[in-house]
Amino acid sequence: MKHRFFILLEYTLIILHSLVIVLIIGQERLILPPILEVTGRMHPLLLHFPIVLLIMAVAMESLISDHIPRQIRSHFLLITVLLTGLTVAAGLILSFEPGYEYDNIKWHQWTAIALFWLGSIWYWTIDQKHLLLKKATPLLLVVLVIVTGHLGANITHGENFLLEPLKTKSVDNLSFEEALAFDHVIKPIFEQKCISCHKASKQKGELRLDEIRFIQAGGKSGKSISTENPEESLIYKRIHLSKEDEEHMPPKEKAQLTEEEKHLISAWIGESPEINQKITAYPEESQFAQLVKNKIEQAKATSYPFSSASAQTIKNLNNEYRLVKALTPQSPALEVRFFGRKEFQSTKLQELKKVQEQVVSLNLSYMDLREGDVKTLANFKNLESLHLNFTGIQGPWLKELKSLKNLKQLSLSGNPLQDEDLKILADFEKLEKLFLWQTEISEESLKAFQRSNQKTSVITGFQGDGTAIQLNPPILEYQNVIFKEEETIRMKHPISSVTIFYTLDGSEPDSLHSERYTDPIKIGKSSEIKARAFAKGWIGSSDISTHLFKARVKPENASLSFPPDPKYSGNGAATLFDLEKGDDDFASGKWLGFQSSPMEAILELDSSTEPRQITLSLFSDEGSHIFLPESIEVWQESQGGNWQRIHLDKPKLAEDYMGKRYHSKTIDLDTSVPVKNVKIRLNPLSTLPKWHNASGSKGWVFIDEILID
Amino acid sequence: MEKEQLEHGLQHNRRKFLSKLSLGIGSLALGSLLIPDLFDRKKAEEEMFAALPHFAPKAKRVIYLFQNGAPSQLETFDYKPLLKKQMGQELPESIRMGQRLTGMTSGQSSFPLVGSYFGFQQYGEARAWISELFPHTAGIVDDICIIKSMHTEAINHDPALTFFQTGAQVGNRPSMGAWLSYGLGSENSNLPAFCVLLSRGKGNGQGVYSKLWTNGFLDSIHQGVQFSASEDPVLYLGDPLGMSRSDRRKMLDKLAELNHLSFEANGDPEIQAKIQQYEMAFRMQTAVPEVTDISNEPDSIIKMYGPDCLIPGTYAANCLLARKLSESGVRFVQLYHQGWDQHDNLPKEIVGQANDVDQASAALIKDLKQRGLLDETLVIWGGEFGRTNYCQGKIEANNYGRDHHPRAFSIWMAGGGVKSGMVYGETDEFGYNITENPVHVHDFQATVLHLMGIDHERLTFKHLGRRYRLTDVHGEIVKDILV
């Protein structure tokens, strides 16, 4: 007894058969309610059921029929056939929509109908013992499922969808000379991304993109290209719309055009798209031809005779001091760079054995290489670019590299190569660029080599344009500006070929009369040190100078007769003896400033310490109205209590703004008598000179230390 | 502020968010309601990185020689003989077209045109006009592409600089170098991917601030690392006196152990980042002295850059250091040379500024070229805007000045995928408006990213509920200057 439900289903099957027959006969003459149109569009969803269920049903009947009760098998087959019928009906309804040409879907349609009918026959005759029916029907059904499915897929995905990966893509292995604009450049793009919807069998928007004449003809929305106004072309506009736009092409759920493809299509539209001409026929300035050329070159450059190394291998080889990565995304070729001279060892290079086939670019510059490393390099047969700048590589080792037949670029700068080593370098046939500066090879040899090896361009780098330029001054290093007994001074220069000459008395050093610096100098008294650097091929540097002060003795007592200006008063007299040098921030408190009154300091010295000299440390910055004093006076108290002037001088008046500068002035004391009280007087400039912008007003005097030796 | 901190936390790690709210399932639901892609975020980000670079890059590294203060285009690359002819005449309103003025010339009643006091000559295949102030740049004219049609939106230094560097005039967005570090990472993991070098000319200067090389909302490892001219090029990198390298190693190992414990306990990924940063700093302790040591540079290299390159902190020294850093795999080296703000005293100051940068900039190009690196390194030279064609203040026999001008200015680019020996774009006879091929700052940024193999529309970071990118919602690649 059949369940009532299945009887109902059997009736439905009969109704479906009638519907399919009506649809076949009626075709597009039928006016369908919208609900049926929706059913039609469900075709792509429904079609998966019959494919799976039919194959399962066949398997159940032919292979495992003994294990499954007859009734279940029968019910299963009924459901299968019903869904097949539903799919067929939906397909027929869908085919009535515009864009589907009968010619292109007829085979799919009829194999599907055959499938439905044969399935139904099978269901109704399943209990027959007829052998042919029992054996042949399932077999035929399976064949029909596969054929129908494949034909259907061709309609939606494009005719070559399935086997596409096995084919080679046209433009990439064509030469630039052979390539045709539409056939080899544009059509392959359309085939990949557009034609599944715009072709003879499926003309969405009544547009076909498989031939130039159809593209020119355009579709429902109008002409697809406009040669007069390329940017108004429909194709151009649609592919450049935002992806979210309804009108954007290809639809956002489909594979998108790459930037490069968009560029190509846009350029093509702009340059006589109606002719399928050779790329070489385009004018020289053509952007399209240029893009195609790049594309072809890129394809060539990225085709290698080896396969990729595994991602895991590459990952394992990467560490902080060795970078291994694909030359370009998706390329099997690898580039390798080494970092950190101190970390480099021969084993780090040997570890690359696993990828020695894939490495095409290797940069070992600045690593310390040994002969053995160069031997290892010979195993990287596919190397195209090898950088060995400043690696200490020696000429004879280069022989090892001869087996690198693919080498296009070789950098050997900064290595002790000799003239005769050029012979080896002449043997690299494919070498395009050879970097050879800062070697011991003579200029003449390099020129001769370049003449006889036209194919290779030799980069010999900047040699200097013959004009000598001035060195920068040496660097003076010392611990303290003010010292008690002795100070050591070191002189340095970043260029190793430099010789430094110096003086200790403030006179100009030169390379003839002055002392040559070899070892650190010990300074035992207040001095002005000046030094200059000289080197062959350079103009000698300007001088650099520094003042070092000896402060052996501190006064017992010191006082100022007039207070310093309140803004620059520091700690009063104590500031002058704190042994702390001021810097160019004269308001830092380390300097005392005087303008309206002179600086007059009275020092009380202990004569048993035998003071011999006084050094004054001064500052000038004309822009800030700070000048050297108009006059410097030193007085010494004689035994009788009378003040005697032992020194008077008038420093030279500055003639222009000279910037911030430091000065020192050393004055000998009268040691014929025991030295006790000393008075120092600095008189500020009474009127600033005419050239000064504040001419007429009073000058400033700044002093930070008085040092006694 | 608290809200931002919370949001920041959410951005970083959902576990933290969940535990902070301590509401278990409830907060899970709330979290996914408030931040719909809270759980997709990682996936989306991974997908974005898997696609990088988006296409084969033309340039692997960038050296950006920023001329801070805005060098005048009219004394450098934009030759305008008309200005000399009409010296002292009023700028016609038909040319000015209501262009806003800065506070410095808004009070000026007259805008007298002033032509360059410096001569120009044509050089190279492109017959490019270059001023006599730049003889060395003239020597490399066939290697560079001069863009005369740059324009920007800002009219004052700080917003204009920030705009150039981060794509927005307000702060807090990641700098170009940070974006590249984020997108492409570092080639050499012993050095930061983004390094910053500062120098200062004698001309009127404008400050630079660390917000110009900020990581913005990106992870802090993408921030530019400033190299200073002192004995410690990278601050706080050296070990204190008495600490040996093996002591430091032991200390870091122990610290990493503790950090791992803490990571296991609360799973904050920032901890992992911290461990990596400590390790990198440890490696930098040897890598930085190696890269900053110039004592092994041959004489010919020193002569090429000029002897100034031996004085740390000068523009020339920074150019040489930039070459060394770039050669060592640093993704983005950003230089700033201050002192180009010639409102007054232009004829005197610009001579000094040009002297500072001309030889070293040209040397950098030559040096990269002779190392075979120019093909893969993009070098950019330029300021944040241009200067007016009229005089600020009075024109004198040996003195004039120029105010800020955003509507047209010149920069040059070289190497890594940019056409060489080219002049792109044109301005009108007054050098005031662009007449041909305008290049907006966002277009420039899109082009730089493109050269580095990045689609500027696809390198994004989601922050405070929206996706950000360097070019914001703008930017067209300047295809004409690409090789």
| Rounded mean pLDDT for each run of 10 residues along chain B, 483 residues in total | 53 53 49 49 67 84 97 96 93 89 88 94 94 96 96 95 95 93 90 94 89 91 89 83 89 93 86 86 90 85 89 93 95 96 94 96 96 95 96 91 96 95 95 95 96 91 90 92 91
A320–B370: do the CB atoms touch at under 8 Å?
Answer: no
A242 touches chain B (CB under 8 A): no
- Asked if residue B269 is part of any domain, the answer here is no
**Residue type (1 letter), B10:** L
Q: Do residue B28 and residue B106 come from a single domain?
A: no
A470 touches chain B (CB under 8 A): yes
- What average pLDDT does range A266-282 have in this prediction? 84
Fold type of domain A311-459: 3.80.10
pLDDT given at position B201: 93
Order across the sheet with A359-363: list the strands. A322-326, A334-338, A359-363, A385-387, A409-411, A433-435, A457-459
Range in A42-46, A322-326, B49-53, B124-128 the model is least confident about = B49-53
pTM: 0.69
**Shortest Cα distance, chain A CAs vs residue B92, angstroms:** 36
> What does the pLDDT look like over A405-431, one tens digit per residue?
899 999 999 999 999 999 888 888 889
Cβ atoms < 10 Å from Cβ of B301 = 22
Cα distance between residue A431 and residue A589, in whole Å: 68
Order across the sheet with A599-604: list the strands. A557-560, A599-604, A677-683, A631-637, A643-649
Cβ atoms < 10 Å from Cβ of A515 = 13
Report which of A24, A60, A69 is spatially closest to residue A141, judged by C-alpha positions. A60
Would strands A334-338 and A322-326 be described as parallel, antiparallel, or unpaired? antiparallel
Q: Do residue B142 and residue B109 come from a single domain?
A: yes
Domain chopping of chain A, boundaries: 4-157, 166-301, 311-459, 475-549, 551-708
- In CATH, the architecture of A551-708 is Sandwich (2.60)
**Shortest Cα distance, chain A CAs vs residue B480, angstroms:** 9
User: What percentage of chain A has pLDDT greater than the value 70?
Assistant: 96
Find the CATH number of the domain harbouring B410.
Answer: 3.40.720.10
- What's the ipTM? 0.83
Task: For chain A, positions 295-354, list CB contacts with chain B under 8 A.
Answer: 298, 320-321, 323, 328-329, 337, 339-342
CATH 3.40.50 fits A475-549, yes or no: no
pLDDT given at position A169: 47
- A297 pLDDT tier (thresholds 50, 70, 90): confident
pLDDT given at position B362: 97
A464–B307: do the CB atoms touch at under 8 Å?
Answer: no
CB B198 within 8 A of CB B161: no
- Residue-range definition of the domain harbouring residue B7: 1-39
Q: Provide the terminal-to-terminal Cα distance of chain B, rounded to the nearest Å.
A: 47
Q: Do residue B319 and residue B432 come from a single domain?
A: yes
pLDDT given at position A172: 54
Classify residue A554 by burial, with Cβ atoms within 10 Å: 0-12, 13-18, 19+.
Answer: middle
pLDDT given at position A219: 84
A contacts of B371 (beta carbons < 8 Å) = 389, 411, 413, 435
pLDDT given at position A251: 84
Tokens describing residue A18: 């009638």
> Beta partners for A336?
A324, A362
Q: Do residue B24 and residue B93 come from a single domain?
A: no
Would strands B144-151 and B422-424 be described as parallel, antiparallel, or unpaired? parallel
List, in order, residues 6 or more apart from A655 with CB less than 8 Å away. Answer: A689, A691
Q: Do residue B465 and residue B366 come from a single domain?
A: yes
Q: Do residue B17 and residue B72 come from a single domain?
A: no
Tokens describing residue A650: 């008038």
Q: In the 8-state DSSP scheme, what is residue A169?
A: P
Cα distance between residue A210 and residue A251, in whole Å: 18
Residue to substitute from A259, A294, A463, A495, interface B, most B β-carbons within 10 A: A495
Q: Tell me how far apart the 2 most distant CA atoms of chain B are, in Å.
A: 79
A496–B295: do the CB atoms touch at under 8 Å?
Answer: yes
Q: Do residue B107 and residue B228 come from a single domain?
A: yes
A471–B307: do the CB atoms touch at under 8 Å?
Answer: yes
| Burial B83-122, CB ≥16 within 10 A → b, else e | beebeeeebeeebbeeeebbeebeeeeebbbbbbebebee
A203 touches chain B (CB under 8 A): no
B367–A462: do the CB atoms touch at under 8 Å?
Answer: yes
Please report the number of interchain residue pairs, chain A to chain B, with beta-carbon separation below 8 angstroms: 93
Classify residue A312 by burial, with Cβ atoms within 10 Å: 0-12, 13-18, 19+.
Answer: exposed
CB A606 within 8 A of CB A570: no
B contacts of A337 (beta carbons < 8 Å) = 187-188, 329
Q: Do residue B163 and residue B191 come from a single domain?
A: yes
pLDDT given at position A412: 94
CB A361 within 8 A of CB A327: yes
Count of domains forming chain B? 2
Beta strands in A507-612 (DSSP E): 515-516, 521-523, 527-534, 544-550, 557-560, 592-594, 599-604
A466 touches chain B (CB under 8 A): no
- CA separation, residue A589 to residues A569, A699, B197 (Å): 7, 19, 33
pLDDT given at position A168: 42
A240 touches chain B (CB under 8 A): no
Q: Do residue B339 and residue B198 come from a single domain?
A: yes
**Shortest Cα distance, chain A CAs vs residue B231, angstroms:** 13
A contacts of B308 (beta carbons < 8 Å) = 472
Q: Residue length, chain A?
A: 709
- Asked if residue B280 is part of any domain, the answer here is no
B300–A437: do the CB atoms touch at under 8 Å?
Answer: yes
> Beta partners for A593?
A702
- Asked if residue B46 is part of any domain, the answer here is no
A472–B283: do the CB atoms touch at under 8 Å?
Answer: no
Which of A235-249, A473-487, B119-133, B302-316 tops mean pLDDT?
A: B119-133
Of B294, B300, B371, the CB nearest to A463: B300
- CA separation, residue A182 to residues A177, A265, A270 (Å): 14, 10, 13
CB A630 within 8 A of CB A698: no
